[in-house]
């Protein structure tokens, strides 16, 4: 990878890290709403899953942003996106709900971005790059 190409993963890390930090902190602002939402979807022990979800989004989102342990960090977020896609957004799309197609595609792009980071690594200006020096 030439020098400029090494910054491609940085762009993805900033976008995806910010995405998960934003959603994680918004859930932290209203954990009872997340608990109720997950309970409404049929998740048993909804409080446990809600807290696991929001803390995962914050912790792993921060690690993605900083480029730490990227090849491991992407997988919990991939699971979160897959659950959201198949439990919420794909069924909404099939039901013809307004905005569901955009929501579904947004989550697929985020999923592709995480998989890209897995394949390329964290790239420039990351904790991983600092550790290699």
Residue ranges making up the domain that contains 69: 5-124
pTM: 0.94
Is residue 89 a part of any domain in this protein? yes
Backbone angles phi, psi at 43, to 5 degrees: -75, 120
Is residue 132 a part of any domain in this protein? no
Is residue 130 a part of any domain in this protein? no
Is residue 97 a part of any domain in this protein? yes
**Count of H-run helices and E-run strands, the chain:** 7, 0
State pLDDT tens for residues 52-80: 999 999 999 999 999 999 999 999 999 99
In this prediction, residues 84-102 reach a mean pLDDT of 94
Q: Is the dihedral of CA 8, 9, 13, 16 positive or negative?
A: positive
In this prediction, residues 12-39 reach a mean pLDDT of 98
- Count of domains forming the chain: 1
């Amino acid at each position: 990878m030439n020098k400029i190409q090494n910054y491609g993963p940085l762009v993805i890390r900033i976008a995806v890290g910010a995405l998960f930090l934003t959603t994680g902190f918004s859930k932290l602002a209203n954990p009872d709403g997340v608990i109720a939402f997950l309970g409404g979807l049929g998740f048993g022990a909804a409080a446990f899953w809600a807290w696991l979800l929001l803390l995962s989004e914050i912790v792993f989102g921060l690690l993605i942003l900083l480029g730490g342990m990227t090849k491991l960090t992407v997988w919990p977020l991939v699971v979160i996106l897959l659950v959201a896609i198949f439990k919420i957004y794909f069924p909404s799309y099939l039901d013809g709900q307004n905005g569901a197609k955009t929501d579904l595609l947004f989550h697929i792009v985020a999923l592709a971005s995480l998989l890209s980071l897995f394949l390329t690594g964290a790239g420039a200006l990351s904790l991983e790059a600092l550790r290699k020096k």
